[in-house]
Amino acid sequence: MECYFAGGCFWCITPVFYEINGVEKVESGFSGGDEVNPKYIDVKNQLTNHREAIRIIYDAAKTSFKELLDAFFNNVDLFDDGGQFIDRGHSYTLAVFYLNEKEKEITLKKIKEVEDEQNRKVMIEVAPFKNFYLAEEYHQDYFRKNEKEFEEEMIKSGRRK
Query: Residue range 75-104: average pLDDT?
Result: 97
pLDDT over 90 for what percent of the chain? 89
Give the mean pLDDT of the chain. 96
46-50, 56-60, 83-87, 153-157: which has the minimum mean pLDDT?
153-157
Catalytic residue, chosen from 4, 6, 7, 9, is 9
Catalytic (active site) residue 9: yes
Q: With beta carbons less than 8 A apart as the criterion, state whether 4 and 132 touch.
A: yes
Q: With beta carbons less than 8 A apart as the criterion, state whether 53 and 152 touch.
A: no
Nearest of 21, 10, 84 to residue 53 by alpha carbon: 10
Nearest of 82, 97, 89, 69 to residue 13 by alpha carbon: 69
* pLDDT one-digit tens code per residue, 127-152: 999 999 999 999 999 889 999 988 88
Residue 21: pLDDT over 80: yes
Residue 92: pLDDT over 90: yes
- Looking at CATH, the fold of the domain delimited by 2-157 is given as Peptide Methionine Sulfoxide Reductase; Chain A (3.30.1060)
